Amino acid sequence: MPATKITINNNGNIRIEGDFEILDPQGKAFGLAGRTAIGLCRCGHSKNKPFCDGSHNAAAFSDNVAARDLPPPKPKI
């Protein structure tokens, strides 16, 4: 299995491909039925959160993405 790849799509979802698992806040894994690619909701309108159901289209979700460098993390005190 190749490394996990995460793509933030313009005006759409977060696509995860590769070897991964998705956990709820209690650490229980979602059953992904063997999928090696999944879309996660970014617009907040999906009826199947955290998974994308395409609702971003009807909601006219608009957010273009450009890769950038994050600043260094703040030191832990």
- What's 39's domain CATH number? 3.40.5.90
Rounded to an integer, what distance in angstroms lies between the CA atom of residue 32 and that of residue 50? 12
Rounded to an integer, what distance in angstroms lies between the CA atom of residue 74 and that of residue 4? 27
Question: Between the CA atoms of 58, 60, 64 and 65, what dihedral angle is there, to the nearest 10 degrees?
Answer: -40
Domain membership of residue 57 (yes or no) is: yes
Domain membership of residue 77 (yes or no) is: no
Instruction: Give me the number of domains the chain comprises.
Output: 1
Whole-prediction pTM: 0.87
Which domain, by its residues, includes 17? 1-64
Q: pLDDT at residue 2 above 80?
A: no
Domain membership of residue 44 (yes or no) is: yes
Rounded to an integer, what distance in angstroms lies between the CA atom of residue 76 and that of residue 72? 12
Rounded mean pLDDT, 46-74:
96
> Which two structure tokens, joined as six digits, stand for 20?
């991964």
The pLDDT tens digits of the residues spanning 14-40 come to: 999 999 999 999 999 999 999 999 999
